[in-house]
Amino acid sequence: MTDTNKNTSKKLWGGRFAGTTAASVEAFTASIQYDSRLFKYDIRGSIAHATMLAGQSILSSEELDAIVAGLTEIGKEIEAGTFDFKPELEDIHMNIEKALLDRIGPAGAKLHSARSRNDQVAVDFKMYLRDQCSQIIELLDGINIAFVVLARKYLGHIMPGYTHMQRAQPVQLAHHMLAYYEMFKRDKSRMIDCRKRMNLSPLGIGALAGTGLPVDREQVAKALDFDGVTANSMDTAGDRDFAIEFTSNCAMIQLHLSRLSEELVLWSGQEFSFVNISDKFCTGSSMMPQKKNPDIPELIRGKSGRVVGSLMSLLTLMKGLPLTYNRDLQEDKEPVFDAADTVSSSLSIMAELLDNLTFNTENMIKATQTGFMTATDLADYLVLKNVPFREAHGIVGRLVAYCLEKGCELEDLTVDELIQFSEAIDRDVFEVLSVEGSVNSRISTGGTGLLKVKEAVDEAEKQLGIV
C-alpha cells in the first residue's frame, strides 16, 4: 500500500487531517469486506440523488450525465467482478465515490452535495432489507405450499398429538401440518409489516440536522420506490429499528424452523418411525455403516443460534447509543446479513425436504392405540350426560388407574365394567372411545375434526393460490 493510497480517504474528506492514517486503523475500521454487497443500492441511490440535485440546479445536465454514466459503468464492473476495491477507502460508499472522481473529475466531487454518509448508508441498508423482506416473503409462501400439499395428501390420516412430549389426544396429521402453516403465515405477516414500516427514505437528512441546500427529499423517495420520507433528521441519523425488527422477524422464522426440525429429527428415529426423510437430505456415519442421519433438520436447528445471536448483537449494539450517529453503527450489517442469508437458505432447503417427505401412517395410527388417548372424550361424554366436568375428570382418572392395573386400554373394557364407575355410562360410550370417533368429534373452529380440517386445507389452498 502506497502512502498516497493510505491517505486517500482523508483527501476525499477535506483538509482537517495533516497526517496519514495508521495502517492498523485502516484495517480495523474497514467494512468493504462485507458491505460491498450494497453496491447496487448505493449506485441507485446516488443516481436518484444526483437527478434531484440537477433538478434543483445544483448540478448541470452535463454533470448529471457524466455522473450517471460513471456510476453505471462502475456498477457493471462490480457485477462482473473486475472492480478494484481499496480497503483503505473503508466502505462501499467511498470506494464508489473515489472511482467516480477518478473517472469523471470535478463533476464527481459535486455528487455528495446535501448528503452525508449517515443518510447514504441508511438508504442503502433500507433498500437492501426491503429486497430481503420480499425474498423471504416468497420463501415463506414456498414452505407453506409444501405444508398444505402434505396436508391435502394425508387428509384423514390420524396420529398422536402430544403435550409434555407424551401422547395426549389423537389428531389428524393434516391438522399438524396446518399448525406449521399458521406459524409461517404469521411470519409472513410480520415481514410484510416490517417492509412497510421501513419504507421511508432517509436521504436528505444530511449528517443529523438536515441541509440548507434546496433539496427535494420527496422526489428522491419516489424515484427509489419509498412510500415517503422520514420525519425527524436526528431520529433518522441514528435509527436502526428497521434492522432490529427485520432480524427479530428472522429469529422468529428460524425458531419455527428449529421446532419443525426437532420434530423431524425425533420422528425419523426408530423410537417413533413416523417419517421417512429422503436419502437426498441425509448423510451416513464415518464409522457406523447402518446410520442415516437427519443432517438438514439438525443443521437448521443449530443455525437458529446464529440468527438469535445476530438479534442479540443488534440489541446490545443499540442499547447505549446517544443520538444521533455513532461509529458503533458500522457493526450493524454483519449480523443482519448473516441472519438474512441463514434464514433464506434454511427456508429454501426445508421446503425442498418437505417436498420429498413421506409419512409412515401405519406407525402413526398404531401409536394412537395406547396411552388412553380418548380419556378426554370419555370425560366429555359424561359431561353431556349431565355429570359435572370435575366429577367426570375424576371418574375417568379412576378408570385409567383400573386399566393400568388390568393392563388394557379404555376401549377394551366392557360396558358392565365401565358402569361400575358411573351409572351415566351407556352402550353408546364406545362411539367416543374409538380414535376415529375422538378425532371427528372435534368440531369446534380450529379443531382436528375431519370436516374442519378439510375446510382449513381448502382455505389455505385458496390463500396460497394452489389450484
Q: Which of 57, 61, 164, 444 is catalytic?
A: 164
Q: Which residues contact 114 (CB under 8 A, 6 or more apart)?
A: 49, 53, 58, 204, 206, 211, 213, 215
Task: Give the Cβ contact number of residue 99 at 10 Å.
Answer: 22
Query: Among 88, 97, 129, which residue's Cα sits nearest to residue 116?
Result: 97
Task: Give the Cβ contact number of residue 42 at 10 Å.
Answer: 27
Query: Among 458, 382, 451, 388, which residue's Cα sits nearest to residue 423?
Result: 382
* Backbone phi, psi, residue 283, to 5°: -130, 170
Quote the longest CA-to-CA distance of the chain: 101
Helix (H) or strand (E) holding 170, with range, is strand 166-172
DSSP code of residue 289: T
User: How far is 424 from 300, CA to CA, in rounded Å?
Assistant: 51
174 close to 377: Cβ distance less than 8 angstroms: no
User: How far is 123 from 225, CA to CA, in rounded Å?
Assistant: 11
Is the peptide bond preceding residue 324 cis, with omega within 30 degrees of 0? yes
Residue 285 bears catalytic tag: yes
Residue 93 bears catalytic tag: no
Helix (H) or strand (E) holding 160, with range, is strand 158-163
Partnered with residue 276 across adjacent β-strands are 358
C-alpha cell at 417: 365394567
Burial of 286 (0-12, 13-18, 19+ CB in 10 A): exposed
Helix (H) or strand (E) holding 381, with range, is helix 375-384
C-alpha cell at 246: 427485520
Helix (H) or strand (E) holding 200, with range, is strand 200-201
Residue numbers annotated as active site: 164, 285
